[in-house]
Amino acid sequence: MAREKLQRLIATLQEELGSAQSIDEESRKALQQLILNVEEIASGDTPPSGDHASAAGQLEKATLQFESEYPKLSMILGEIIDTLGKLGI
């Protein structure tokens, strides 16, 4: 159930990222890489590792970075972090 929610949140994040015109290219690329990392976690193909914890930490950092300019994006990132926590990551 949590993995399905995580996949839905990833799709929502990708849509929101696609519609956010004013995000600088560096931030956009960093978020896209985070999305790839979270997709790997969501697939469940690999056991939790330090890389997964690192991805969660990077998500937290991105959430704070986008909080004021992109509140919806930040909210989605927060939901992803909560869902990863429910998965034990």
Write out 71-86 in H/E/C secondary structure.
Answer: HHHHHHHHHHHHHHHH
Could you give the percent of the chain with pLDDT greater than 70? 89
pLDDT at 19 over 70: yes
| pTM (predicted TM-score) | 0.77
Band of the pLDDT at 86, cuts 50, 70, 90?
confident
Band of the pLDDT at 6, cuts 50, 70, 90?
confident
Q: Do 73 and 16 meet the contact criterion of CB atoms below 8 Å apart?
A: yes
pLDDT at 44 over 90: no
DSSP 24: -
Stretch 78-89: mean pLDDT, rounded?
Answer: 84
Distance from C-alpha of 3 to C-alpha of 63, rounded to nearest angstrom: 20
Q: Do 6 and 87 meet the contact criterion of CB atoms below 8 Å apart?
A: yes
Q: Where are the domains of the chain?
A: 2-86
Name residues whose C-beta falls within 8 Å of residue 44's C-beta, 6 or more positions apart in sequence.
Answer: 3
pLDDT at 12 over 90: yes
Nearest alpha-carbon partner for 78 in 16, 1, 20: 16
